[in-house]
């Protein structure tokens, strides 16, 4: 994804700029109830405690849902096809998700084994799913005629999932958002300068604060806010990231915040690193220190519903992605793009079911798990995870072997079994002895109880 790369480069470039937070600017910010200063005063142990539920959860659902579900050609369609506001308006006028049943969404997420969810309250197109006082460009003014975000929050909360909001910093619809290359190109005969006449980012900054205040006061406890994104051309000064972050922390002190506000170099300027659509080589580090991280990934090549896109990952690839992520100490946020009728894409439902089937039997190797302790080398074609609380190691057999799984840590093994059915796996000092016939499990797991 071009823009994902740009976002990444942007956040890297901007790191030095954020280190010095200007005094004058600080004074202009609203005074939050809770004092938050950058860098954060929170200790590593305090942060680990605040993040505990999230670290234990390991697996969440991302949902990209907005007007772009109607063209069904990627959530960047307005930009890619240079669609001006007047022409994009038809989607607003026809947005009628008559089959929207958030309880069904929540049920599918829960059955897949996901423990939290993040929905696009507003994506780059600027359309808001909730009843915001600060814009008319919102779901209640479409044929949907109601606050869809509220129904989402209630349904997922009822199923026991932690609730997150994605909020786009970019806004292609707001009249004050400074026009740039991320917008659809300027209408015929108009220059960027002309498009920017009368636009005022200060008003847009206030709009964001007002909206974030709504989101974080009207829907009860919100567990995650996912801002997206900064890039060369727009960064922390344009958003007033420090002010936004202070506001967020004052309204929801325990909330988890992603790292796309362009405050990457400030400890406390983010809670999680968010590598997108990549497989990381090792636990993500920040200045040489391991940090909380979450990779967000799509089932196919688009975040929003894309009717004609066919590069869908297989269940085995998706399960492997989850295992791989946990084996490096990270979380997986896997995205669904519901249709404009309000239902999950059937292709997503199918894959969620397959993941749920695997998680039902093997979730113990995912929840509360992380990297294997130092010195434990993964046997051939396998991936290790480890639960530090129980001192149990998990060997995920990606490529099912014939008879033997050779391992270099056999002196540390106390007992071993298949995870899915708790059937004993015999072992000797060379390795484990598995049945020739592969069990009926997408990726079988050996559960290894280590000696105390």
Which residues fall within 8 angstroms of residue 18, CB to CB, at 6 or more apart? 235, 236, 241, 262, 263, 264, 265, 266, 269
Nearer residue to ligand GLC within complex by CB, 74 or 205: 74
**Helix, coil or strand: residue 265:** coil
Which residues fall within 8 angstroms of residue 260, CB to CB, at 6 or more apart? 7, 11, 169, 226, 227, 228, 229, 230, 270, 274
Q: How far is the CB of 190 from ligand GLC (least distance, A)?
A: 25
| Burial class of 93 by CB neighbour count within 10 A (0 to 12, 13 to 18, 19+) | exposed
> Which residues sit at the interface with ligand GLC, rule CB under 6 A?
3-4, 7, 64, 75-76, 228-229, 276, 296, 303
Report the candidate in 51, 30, 63, 134 with the shortest Cα–Cα distance to residue 298.
Answer: 63
Q: How far is the CB of 315 from ligand GLC (least distance, A)?
A: 22
Phi, psi of 335 (to 5 degrees): -95, 140
Nearer residue to ligand GLC within complex by CB, 10 or 431: 10
Q: How far is the CB of 398 from ligand GLC (least distance, A)?
A: 26
Nearer residue to ligand GLC within complex by CB, 7 or 14: 7
Q: How far is the CB of 109 from ligand GLC (least distance, A)?
A: 17
Nearer residue to ligand GLC within complex by CB, 231 or 418: 231
Residue 128 DSSP symbol: B
Q: How far is the CB of 150 from ligand GLC (least distance, A)?
A: 22
Q: How far is the CB of 192 from ligand GLC (least distance, A)?
A: 21
Q: How far is CA 15 from the centre of its chain?
A: 22
Q: How far is the CB of 226 from ligand GLC (least distance, A)?
A: 8
- Separation between Cα atoms, residue 36 and residue 42, nearest integer Å: 10
Tokens representing 330 are: 């990270």
Q: How far is the CB of 260 from ligand GLC (least distance, A)?
A: 8
- Separation between Cα atoms, residue 137 and residue 132, nearest integer Å: 9
Among all chains, which residue has been given the structure tokens 């929050």?
Answer: 153
Nearer residue to ligand GLC within complex by CB, 228 or 242: 228
Nearer residue to ligand GLC within complex by CB, 331 or 370: 331
Nearer residue to ligand GLC within complex by CB, 147 or 228: 228
- Separation between Cα atoms, residue 385 and residue 329, nearest integer Å: 9
- Separation between Cα atoms, residue 303 and residue 336, nearest integer Å: 7
Residue 186 DSSP symbol: P
Q: How far is the CB of 7 from ligand GLC (least distance, A)?
A: 5
Nearer residue to ligand GLC within complex by CB, 48 or 185: 185
Q: How far is the CB of 233 from ligand GLC (least distance, A)?
A: 14
User: Would you call the peptide bond into 182 cis, given omega within 30 degrees of 0 as the criterion?
Assistant: no
Q: How far is the CB of 117 from ligand GLC (least distance, A)?
A: 14
b or e along 157-195 (b: 16 or more beta carbons within 10 Å of the residue's beta carbon)? Answer: bebebbbbbbbbbbbbbbebbbbeebbbebeeeeeeeeb
- Separation between Cα atoms, residue 79 and residue 53, nearest integer Å: 37
Nearer residue to ligand GLC within complex by CB, 62 or 204: 62
The angle formed by the CA atoms of residues 419, 424 and 426, to the nearest 5 degrees, is 120
Nearer residue to ligand GLC within complex by CB, 122 or 246: 122
Nearer residue to ligand GLC within complex by CB, 4 or 321: 4
How are beta strands 224-228 and 256-257 bridged, if at all? parallel
């Amino acid at each position: 994804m071009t823009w994902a790369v740009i976002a990444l480069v942007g956040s890297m470039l901007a790191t030095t700029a954020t280190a010095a937070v200007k005094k004058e600017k600080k004074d202009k910010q609203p005074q939050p109830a809770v004092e938050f200063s950058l860098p954060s005063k929170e200790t590593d142990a305090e942060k680990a405690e605040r993040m505990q539920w999230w670290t234990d959860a390991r697996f969440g659902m991302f949902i990209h849902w907005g007007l772009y579900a109607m063209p069904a050609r990627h959530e960047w369609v307005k930009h890619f096809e240079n669609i001006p506001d007047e022409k994009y308006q038809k989607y607003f006028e026809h947005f009628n998700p008559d089959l929207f049943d958030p309880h069904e969404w929540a049920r599918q997420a829960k059955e897949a084994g996901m423990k939290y969810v993040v929905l696009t309250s507003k994506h780059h197109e600027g359309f808001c799913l909730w009843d915001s006082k600060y814009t008319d460009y919102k779901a209640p003014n479409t044929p949907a005629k109601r606050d869809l975000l509220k129904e989402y929050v209630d349904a997922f909360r009822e199923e026991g999932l932690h609730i997150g909001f994605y909020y786009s910093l970019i806004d292609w619809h707001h009249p004050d958002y400074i026009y740039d290359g991320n917008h659809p190109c300027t209408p015929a005969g108009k220059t960027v300068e002309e498009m920017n006449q009368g636009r005022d980012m200060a008003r847009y900054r206030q709009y964001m604060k007002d909206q974030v205040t709504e989101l974080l006061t009207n829907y009860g406890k919100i567990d995650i806010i996912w801002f997206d994104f900064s890039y060369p051309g727009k960064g922390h000064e344009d958003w007033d990231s420090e002010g936004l972050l202070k506001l967020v922390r004052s309204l929801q002190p325990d909330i988890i915040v992603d790292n796309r506000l362009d405050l990457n170099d400030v400890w406390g300027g983010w809670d999680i690193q968010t590598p997108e659509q990549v497989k990381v080589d090792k636990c993500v580090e920040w200045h040489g220190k391991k940090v909380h991280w979450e990779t967000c990934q799509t089932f196919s090549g688009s975040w929003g519903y894309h009717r004609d896109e066919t590069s869908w990952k297989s269940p085995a690839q998706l399960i492997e992605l989850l295992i791989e992520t946990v084996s490096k100490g990270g979380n997986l946020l896997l995205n669904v793009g519901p249709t404009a009728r309000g239902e999950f894409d059937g292709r997503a439902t199918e894959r969620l079911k397959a993941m749920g089937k695997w998680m039902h039997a093997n979730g113990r190797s995912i929840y509360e798990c992380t990297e294997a302790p130092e010195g434990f080398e993964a046997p051939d074609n396998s991936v290790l995870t480890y639960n530090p609380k129980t001192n149990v190691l998990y060997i995920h057999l990606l490529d099912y072997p014939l008879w033997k799984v050779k391992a270099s840590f056999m002196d540390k093994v106390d007992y071993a079994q298949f995870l899915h059915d708790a059937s004993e796996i015999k072992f000797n000092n060379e390795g484990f002895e598995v049945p020739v016939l592969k069990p009926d499990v997408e990726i079988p797991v050996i559960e290894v109880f280590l000696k105390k």
